[in-house]
Homo-oligomer: A and B are copies of this chain.
């Protein structure tokens, strides 16, 4: 069992998730590369130091270039705000480090293109944190589709609703400003849905018409609750979409949908059946097969289990349930395998750029009102 030195930049939700994944990978998967926790970085020095100890890293820093340049680090996790992804990714790739970058890839298509160029010029592997596609059950769903279990794919329909910003009394933040953060639900939520659409269909969105809704057009100034500040990006983002494979579909996301906590729900329609998934029940897949005896036809609720590998890296029997962190470990395992086999894994920066372009096309269409090519 070989080791690989890793560094993590950013220590909030995702920095923690990546660190948990690094700590679990060897035990869970046994074979393959075993991560060695070298350096953790956070812009805040107190946090950096505290996290080094808690998370068990050998060293810490506040300057991400220390991670980039550390000779013991071969793989770098980028878990910082989107606006910093590009500069770190480009620096890391230039320094010959593999990159595990959180979603979305960047804040603009040109940035993403620069990142891909850097990846192409390197000998390194890249992976984007579209974790929902890495769920063993979702991967198995993709296999079923590929094997023709639902016949020819005839459509894809996806929703990703969350209630992060659903409270009208939640004050204004940088997330609600187009200048500060770009698009709203489009950038933050739609990217996950597009990744799923691309993954499940094996095709790409090529043409679409999109729409935005800013449900709460102003929000309280957090520094002065008497005053309202305008919200100028999208709370809700919807699109009718055409895919490269000829199928059509719909995509809709909202950040103001009360009750949906991680409401990523999708359906893939086929000529002989249907498969559906709801991320809030990540261990359950719905499969309908019209070939079943008519009296016995119905959606099957399939529980994650040992037949949906790499489930058994964690648990020997079905029904015991994986969680979000376990799926992140699966994502990491794919990247580690890509590194040791020197073969890209989905979604690399190349795949990620395609996702960015869809979000960009939705944005252009929502502004122009016209059907738009990706």
Contacts and interface: CB of A to CB of B under 8 A. Distances in A.
Nearest to A314: B325
A123 interface: no
A290 B258 contact: yes
Q: Which of A144, A314, A321, A324 has most chain B Cβ within 10 Å? A: A321
A157 B252 contact: yes
A302 interface: yes
A290 B318 CA distance: 14
A11 to B, nearest CB: 10
A168 B303 contact: no
Q: How large is the interface on A (under 10, 10 to 19, 20 to 34, 35 or more residues)?
A: 35 or more
A82 interface: no
A300 B290 CA distance: 12
A320 to B, nearest CB: 4
A209 B261 contact: no
A54 to B, nearest CB: 5
A55 interface: yes
A297 B316 CA distance: 16
B303 A298 contact: yes
Interface in A138-175: 140, 143-144, 149-151, 154-155, 157, 159, 162-164, 166-168
Given A215-B154, A290-B166, A262 B321 contact: yes
CB-CB nearest 9 A-B residue pairs: A261-B319, A323-B323, A259-B288, A262-B319, A298-B302, A298-B300, A261-B318, A213-B248, A294-B307
B27 A305 contact: no
Interface stretch (A17-25, A59-67, A87-95, A335-343): A17-25
Contacts of A324: 314-315, 320-323
Contacts of A250: 238, 250, 252
Q: Which among A1, A143, A248 has the greatest number of chain B C-beta atoms within 10 A?
A: A248
A347 interface: no
A157 to B, nearest CB: 7
12 contacts: A20-B24, A23-B24, A163-B290, A166-B290, A209-B240, A259-B299, A280-B319, A281-B284, A284-B298, A298-B301, A314-B325, A326-B326
A66 to B, nearest CB: 21
A299 B299 CA distance: 8
A257 interface: yes
